[in-house]
Amino acid sequence: MNIKHLIDKNREYIINMRRYFHAHPELSFEEFETTKKIAEELDKMNIPYEINERLGTGLVGVVQGGKPGKTVALRADIDALNVTECTNLDFKSQNEGKMHACGHDAHIATLLGAAKILAGVKNELPGKVYLIFQPGEEIALGAKAMIEFGNWYEETDNIFGAHIWSPLEAGKISVEAGERMAAGDQFKITVKGVSGHGSAPHETIDAVVVASAIVMNLQTLVSRSYSPLDSVTVSVATIHSGNRFNIIAGEAVMEGTNRYFSREIEKRIKEDMIRICENTAAAYGASVTVEYTHVMKPTINDEASSLIAEEAATKISGAEALVKVEKVTGSEDFSFYLENKPGCFAFIGGKNPEVSAVYPHHSEFFNIDDEVLPEASGIYAQYAIDYLIKNSQ
């Protein structure tokens, strides 16, 4: 099934859609106008959809093939960030203090382009394709909300998603199997000691000293608790304690994040952290409470799905477009889809100095080379086609 003519046919549409959404960003779970616009575009394609009415944002479209078969889902996130844009783009943000500084505008356009391509060949498809336009990725709540919406996730056999990637050269794509993005956990540690005069430390239990010891001891999670072959980071990012130079603090509050790739580590890292915090505090006569939240799961690509993505990318962009990208310690809530379903998450290069697409994600100067998006749409569509055909035999 050759779809390259449909990619060329919809090239201008896909780029224009990216620029429209870039100019009209909305924050997480506030993507109401974005959702309406997506719905309007699907209406034009005669693709049925259902809006997540509970949230008022996000929707699931469906392309029903002309033959029976499996079900595959394609996902794009749709939210922007509270960043004031500082680019000179003709289509820069019209919503003050809001910006598509992570590339989700490109993801929306890419999936709309894929929808157009799939609609053009739907009679030949052996199965069904769900189109997931997901809100709230930046606050790590959107995937969970969409999984709970309707029965699309239960029906889905496989899922594909991608992120435009600013460090990667435009036109390149990474679809490796295995660990791709890290889990992202959040913690808050509160130390309770006994305050007192700075001249009489023996009458106190110094929360600053206890907190400092906890910070240092937590690093043994990385160096001694887990295999050196497993990547783990433990970052205490804030410490707040005390309010005057001559008062020994009786309380200290620390917050931070842990990152790792192993699902085995996910099962035990909370208990390991609590053990170190409690035992360290006890050694000083203090007490401690630990609030620990598993915010994001590790994103791990299924091997068979990665092979399908590799073949799809080769058909659309050529074998030379495929590159290897080291796993990254950033997190993605696409990981929740992969927890119980096989699938693949890809990185699509968007870096091009000629269009000032050289800045990192979340920068106020962030931009991408949107000329890569038509082929990205083709890869989305080709992945769905190839998966359905391979699994109809």
Binding site for Mn(2+): what residues are annotated?
102, 104, 138, 163, 362
Phi then psi dihedrals of residue 155, to 5 deg: -80, -20
Whole-angstrom distance, CA of residue 102 vs CA of residue 166: 9
How many residues are there in the chain?
Answer: 393
DSSP string, 325-367: ---BS---TTHHHHTTS-EEEEEEEEEBGGGTB-SPTT-TT--
Q: Which SS3 state, helix, strand or coil, does residue 196 take?
A: strand
Whole-angstrom distance, CA of residue 264 vs CA of residue 66: 42
Residue ranges of the binding site? 102, 104, 138, 163, 362
- Residue 347 burial (CB count, 10 A): 22
**Residues paired with 190 in a beta bridge:** 253, 289
Q: Is 358 exposed, middle or buried (0-12, 13-18, 19+ CB in 10 A)?
A: middle
The span from the first CA to the last CA of the chain, in angstroms, equals 16
Residue 81 is given by DSSP the state B
Q: Residue 377, by phi and psi: left (phi above 0), alpha (psi -120 to 50) or beta? A: alpha
